[in-house]
Structure 1
Amino acid sequence: MPVANERPVRFPMRRKPLVAWLGVAAAMALVAGCAVSPAPGAVPDGTGQQVPAAAVGSPTPFLTQAPQVDTSDWKSFETFGVGFKYPAEWKVVAKKECQGCEPAGDPRKNPYAKWNVLDADGIEIAEFSADSAEDNDGDATYVRTRLETIELDSNMSTPTVVLFEHSLANTPTRDNYRTAALMVDDAVLAAERDEFPQLAYFRPRKGVAAMLETTNGFPKSLGFTAQDVSLGDAIKMMDTTGYRNMVALMLSVKAVPQE
Structure 2
Amino acid sequence: MRPSTFLNVHLVSDSTGETLNAIVRAVAPLFEGVTPLEHSYYLVRSRRQLDRVLAEIESFPGVVLFTIAAHELRDVLEDHCKLLGIPTLPVLDQVLTMWEHHLKIRAGEKTGSKQTLDENYFRRIDALNFTMAHDDGQMTHEFNQAEVILVGVSRTSKTPTSIYLANRGIRTANFPLVPKAPISQALLDLTKPLVVGLRISPDRLIAIRRNRLLSLHADAESDYVDEDAVREEITDANRLFERQNWPVIDVTRRSIEETSAAILNLLAERAAK
Question: As a proportion of its length, which structure holds more strand?
Answer: 1
Q: Which has the higher contact order (CA 8 A, sep 6+)?
A: 1
Same fold (TM over 0.5): no
Give the TM-score taking structure 2 as reference length.
Answer: 0.21
